[in-house]
Amino acid sequence: MKRIHVIIAVGVVAFLVGALVSPMLGWGGPEGSAAASEATIDLPAAVARAWFPPIDDYENGGGALDDEQFTELMAALDAAMSAEETAADFAGEASYHLANFGRRLAVPRITEPQQEEIAAFLTVLGERHPDHRQLIDRQKSVLTPLYSPKSTDDIPVFSRRVDLLLSDSELYADGDFEDGQVDRILATLRAILGAPEVSDRFAAEAESHLRHAGMLLQFGRLSPEQLARVLAYIDEVAAAHPGAADLIANTRYVIENLTPGRVAPNITGTDTDGELFSLEDYRGKVVALVFSGHWCGPCRVEYPFQRAMVSLYEDMSEDAVLLSVNSDPVLDTIQAVKVRESLDYRTWWDGHGEVSTEGPIATAWHVAAWPTIYILDEEGVIRFVNKRGADMIATVDGLLKEKRWAALEASMLAPAGDGAGEGK
């Protein structure tokens, strides 16, 4: 009865959380999966071609922008916003053009006459495209701080505006990846990394795209042949961009070691009571491994499901276990939270250093989003990544059933009376 009550309670909570919280947190996960028949990628024209002078031309150390350069930049903006491709899909193309224009104003100091000319251009643009005036006004407000005296010479990263990997529902696998999906993932990544705004500043721009590729490949299982193809492409990228060796190596590590089908790297560290323990200590059990932090809103949403899992399997502790890696900067925080929230499972405290989310464990596992959840089978093999809420419990339950069936089959295949009654 206890098991039934827990499952019903978790189901109700899952529905309420999904209905009320997910839209606010942007959790709209992929729905379904289909293999792409052809790996043909059409980037937005604003991304696929170079429309503006090289961005390096505008890194002048914060000095006033030269009038000749400014005139050239405004002419490029006018040509981009007047292009046939922009007219055909203004909402899809204009935001990229305006972002690339603004990126070139990040470092130089913009004079008052130049500010006035930009404002006048955007006003006229809004009159020409009244249906998109909100988009244009939003870009105008973003550009305004760039006119101010600069506190930094950093150029905004354009890559964060282009998400063609995680936003494509056809690229997600439901189980094993199909060859067509892998073809399309590699073709999409190749197209994005070859786009001028990315390739011209590869070390600064490519990181988010490579990270997205790694995250996407954690949603399904690659065959050995598919894995070899993906890693061969990553090696090709590394050879072409030796200056970005570290970030490319990070992506390669995630794909090779932290995707379903790979044995999880071991973790050794101290728990919230200061006791040393290792992930390998739990071989033989199904493990839900949660990277979390009380500072993280979506992480806190997971607490009811974590309590439910602990309650559900408290009589099956030899079969399943919940473990977590905590990233709160102060140990006292997670110690108090575990008591207050009844989070009765073992936790590594990893909130060391200036940035608590860059503790040694999270860094070794290349955690870029919180929470991140890995489900391991009894052999320590990663089977699923980021099964949240009630899905986490259902996934663990599925692996336990799989384990029991395997044990039953093994017992049925064993010779009758094997070892029984010996010496009697």
**158-203 tens-digit pLDDT:** 876 778 899 899 999 989 999 999 999 999 999 999 999 999 999 9
Predicted confidence band of residue 329 (pLDDT cuts 50, 70, 90): very high
Q: For residue 136, count other CB atoms closer than 10 A to its CB.
A: 23
Q: Which tokens is 50 given?
A: 């170079």
Given this model, what pLDDT does residue 51 score?
97
Confidence check: pLDDT of 241 > 80: yes
Over residues 250-259, the pLDDT tens digits come to 999 999 999 9
Lowest-confidence range among 10-14, 16-20, 224-228, 280-284?
16-20
According to the model, what pLDDT value does residue 297 have? 96
Lowest mean pLDDT among 33-47, 54-68, 215-229, 305-319: 33-47
Nearest Cα to Cα of residue 251 among 165, 380, 173, 378: 165
Confidence (pLDDT) at 254: 98
Which residue did the predictor score with more confidence, 352 or 206?
Answer: 206
At residue 158, the pLDDT reads 81
What is the Cα–Cα distance from 337 to 43, expressed in whole angstroms? Answer: 46
4-13 per-position pLDDT tens digit: 444 444 444 4
Predicted pLDDT of residue 352: 82
Each residue of 126-170: pLDDT tens digit?
999 999 999 888 877 777 666 665 555 578 888 767 788 998 999
User: Is it the case that residue 420 has pLDDT exceeding 70?
Assistant: no
pLDDT of 139? 76
Work out the mean pLDDT of the chain and round it to a whole number.
87
Indicate if the alpha-carbon torsion angle 89, 90, 94, 96 is positive or negative: negative
The mean pLDDT of 402-409, rounded to a whole number, is: 82
| Stated pTM of the model | 0.82
Q: Whole-angstrom Cα distance, residue 61 to residue 152?
A: 9
In whole angstroms, give the CA distance from residue 299 to residue 101: 37
Q: Are the beta carbons of 148 and 102 closer than 8 angstroms?
A: no
Q: Which long-range contacts (CB under 8 A, 24 or more apart) does 361-367 make?
A: 361/267, 361/269, 361/325, 362/291, 362/325, 362/327, 364/265, 364/267, 365/258, 365/265, 365/267, 365/291, 365/325, 366/214, 366/250, 366/253, 366/254, 366/258, 367/291
Supply the pLDDT for residue 39.
Answer: 73
Confidence of residue 418 (pLDDT cuts 50, 70, 90): low
In this model, does residue 66 exceed pLDDT 70?
yes
Q: Which phi and psi angles does 280 have, rounded to 5°?
A: -65, -15
User: CA-to-CA distance for 380 and 285, rounded, in angstroms?
Assistant: 8
Of 1-10, 141-150, 273-282, 314-323, the poorest mean pLDDT is in 1-10
How far, CA to CA in Å, does 297 sit from each of 21, 325, 330, 348, 379? 10, 16, 17, 19, 32
Q: Say which residue, 301 or 413, is predicted with more confidence.
A: 301
Q: Work out the pLDDT band at 226, boundaries 50, 70, 90.
A: very high
* pLDDT recorded at residue 416: 62
Residue 1, pLDDT score: 46
Rounded distance between C-alpha atoms, residue 201 and residue 206, angstroms: 8
Q: Strands 346-349 and 276-278: what pairing? A: unpaired
User: What are the φ and ψ backbone dihedral angles of 260, each rounded to 5 degrees?
Assistant: -55, 135
pLDDT reading at 405 higher than 80: yes
Q: Of all residues in the chain, what percent carry a pLDDT higher than 90? A: 71
Find which of 22-26, 112-116, 263-267, 401-405 is predicted with most confidence, using mean pLDDT: 263-267
Tell me what pLDDT residue 159 has: 73
